A and B are shown apart, each in its own frame.
Chain A
Amino acid sequence: GAVVSQHPSRVICKSGTSVKIECRSLDFQATTMFWYRQFPKQSLMLMATSNEGSKATYEQGVEKDKFLINHASLTLSTLTVTSAHPEDSSFYICSASTSGGPSSYEQYFGPGTRLTVT
């Protein structure tokens, strides 16, 4: 149980275009989803936290107009990188957690999406 999927796994886009990444919890309802960014050989940096049906909370330094997050249902959150630039190339990982109960401490991670902007 507790499987999180991401789509696509890899995407290459041209500078100036927008890219949407989907994060789905397959067998549980995710009240909260998190979006992380990871550069090569570095740790995960939290970009934003989203709760179903409400606006995402962005970390300091993350542009909300550039990284649009939508958490429309308890099983789906999307991250849209708008007007992508080469410096946005990175590994984007989502995670999901449930509310209440002992399992709510854990976050279940998706397999990640490798974005390359040319």
Chain B
Amino acid sequence: SQQGEEDPQALSIQEGENATMNCSYKTSINNLQWYRQNSGRGLVHLILIRSNEREKHSGRLRVTLDTSKKSSSLLITASRAADTASYFCATGRTSGSRLTFGEGTQLTVNP
């Protein structure tokens, strides 16, 4: 069953602005991952954060994890039109285990 919920479901911003997407989950996790999916394509892994980590950066991406609130956020700074895609969070309970995906956020960056 899907345990991840993301908000907003859709986000439209102007190029150069920051985009923040949130993800909540219900059970205990080992790690939380963010993926990107362009329309009609497979998923691209963006970043993984472990349950004992609170924040992680990768280029223009910043991910936070609050295990007490069972939530995570993905921040994309200085967005570009090429960032337009669907973004999914996914939680894993152990290494190599199944992932449970959130409902996704459709991000549109207008040039």
Contacts and interface: CB of A to CB of B under 8 A. Distances in A.
Interface residues of B, number: 25
Contacts, number: 63
Nearest to B99: A107
A98 B72 CA distance: 25
A105 B40 contact: no
Contact of B42 (A32, A45, A104, A110): A110
Contacts of B2: 43, 45
Interface of A: 4, 6, 31-32, 34, 41-46, 49, 91, 93, 95, 97-100, 104-112, 114
22 contacts: A4-B42, A31-B96, A32-B96, A34-B99, A41-B106, A43-B88, A49-B98, A93-B42, A93-B43, A95-B43, A95-B99, A97-B96, A99-B95, A105-B30, A105-B31, A105-B33, A106-B33, A109-B35, A109-B43, A109-B44, A111-B41, A112-B40
User: Which 8 A-B pairs give the minimum distances between C-beta atoms?
Assistant: A111-B42, A109-B43, A104-B95, A104-B96, A109-B42, A112-B42, A44-B101, A43-B101
